Amino acid sequence: MTHRPRIIHHKDGTRRSIGRQWRRGGDSKWHRLADSGAIPDQRCTADVVVDCAVYEDGRRVASLGPQEALTEARKRPGGFAWVGLHQPAQEHLAEIAEVFGLHPLAVEDAVNAHQRPKLERYGDTLFLVLKTIVFVEHEKLTATSEVVDTGELMIFLGADFVVVVRHGSAPGLAQVRRALEQHPEMLAHGPAAVLHAITDRVVDDYLDVADQVELDVDELESDVFSSVQGDDAERIYQLKRELIEFKRAVHPMARPLQRLSEESDEMIGREMGRYFRDVADHLSQVRERLASYSELVDGLLAANLSQLAVQQNVDMRRISAAAAILAIPTMIAGFYGMNFEHMPELHWTFGYPLMLGVTATLSALCYRAFRRYGWL
């Protein structure tokens, strides 16, 4: 059936489209509210649904609306519905929560976003929050460069459904869905296979971003130990901040993945637990690499500060040497500026050139001594 946008005609002559309707007749609670104009967000639920399909024995059998998909999945042995949502508002998730029986606390977290990675159980539903990382392309690391950007994925896992909510810069999951559909033997494991595929993609993205961050670390290391002085301290501090943001996304995921791989949960199963252990191993690699990057950046900051201290000492030596050399003519000029009547060589014809010669000689000897000791 072809889904066409519905156009609402208002009394003032304007028109507004409320988007496609997944359900025949548009009799859902959301569409009744949309028709009445009582919803501030003009998108209907269908507009935030990226994809919704029914799977049986690892194969896609139908593309329906959320309620129809769940009804159809429960008619098929081993079937389940997979719903993908992109940045839904509270009103959008209200109908989804009613259809799938999602817990209000989990729905609130999914709407508000900005959650730390966690795994919680609400009755017969698992709720997993994942932080995604995207590398922000830049030609050269500067004091204001943004290196990584974070997004969020909220996954509701039931015995016969998977609801995925995507927020922020989290990349789309169309490739994950297509890859799973090409491996029906994996998808036949049910919703747990979808959960594994998503977490595996998120952790693989961590590894890819870690490779890109390593290039920035190497570039910064070369610049710190180069002869050209720049704003290295500011750049190092900026990279440290970006690494902290990266670590905030990665480190809290260790505990949820450990629970998914170790707990005997009937929705996960022993076989899928092995797959989650593999994801946990990849996450450990990311954590180790981030720890090494942090240590290296800390070392670069310490080295940069040491270089600044050494440079300041060198400058102070040069200033002190220059002051010592200038003290010689200042002292001689001070003596002859006292205006005493009886002073050595005061009335001698060659007294002035003599004083100039003595001043130049003493200054040259002092300059040579400072050069010998490396102060100049």
CATH of the domain at 326: 1.20.58
pLDDT at 263 (0 to 100):
63
Helix (H, G, I), strand (E, B) or coil at 114: coil
Is the full-model pTM beyond 0.75? Answer: no
Is the residue at 300 inside a domain? no
Q: What is the pLDDT averaged over residues 296-314? A: 79
Q: What is the pLDDT averaged over residues 261-288? A: 85
Closest CA to 263 of 280, 251, 288, 284: 280
Closest CA to 273 of 258, 291, 294: 258
Is the residue at 103 inside a domain? no
Q: Tell me the average pLDDT of the chain.
A: 81
Percent of the chain with pLDDT over 90: 44
Print the domain residue range for 343: 315-372
pLDDT at 100 (0 to 100):
93
Judge whether 54 and 79 are in contact, CB under 8 Å: yes
State the Cα–Cα distance between residues 235 and 141, nearest whole angstrom.
7
Closest CA to 287 of 263, 262, 252: 252
Is the residue at 227 inside a domain? no
Is the residue at 293 inside a domain? no
Is the residue at 67 inside a domain? no
**Which range (127-136, 230-239, 245-254) has the least confidence?**
230-239
The answer on pLDDT for 154 being more than 90 is yes
Is the residue at 160 inside a domain? no
Is the residue at 359 inside a domain? yes
Is the residue at 333 inside a domain? yes
252 C-beta neighbours (distance < 10 Å), count: 16
Report in angstroms the alpha-carbon separations of 30 from 21, 163, 341, 357. Answer: 10, 18, 109, 100
Domain count, the chain: 1
Judge whether 51 and 174 are in contact, CB under 8 Å: yes
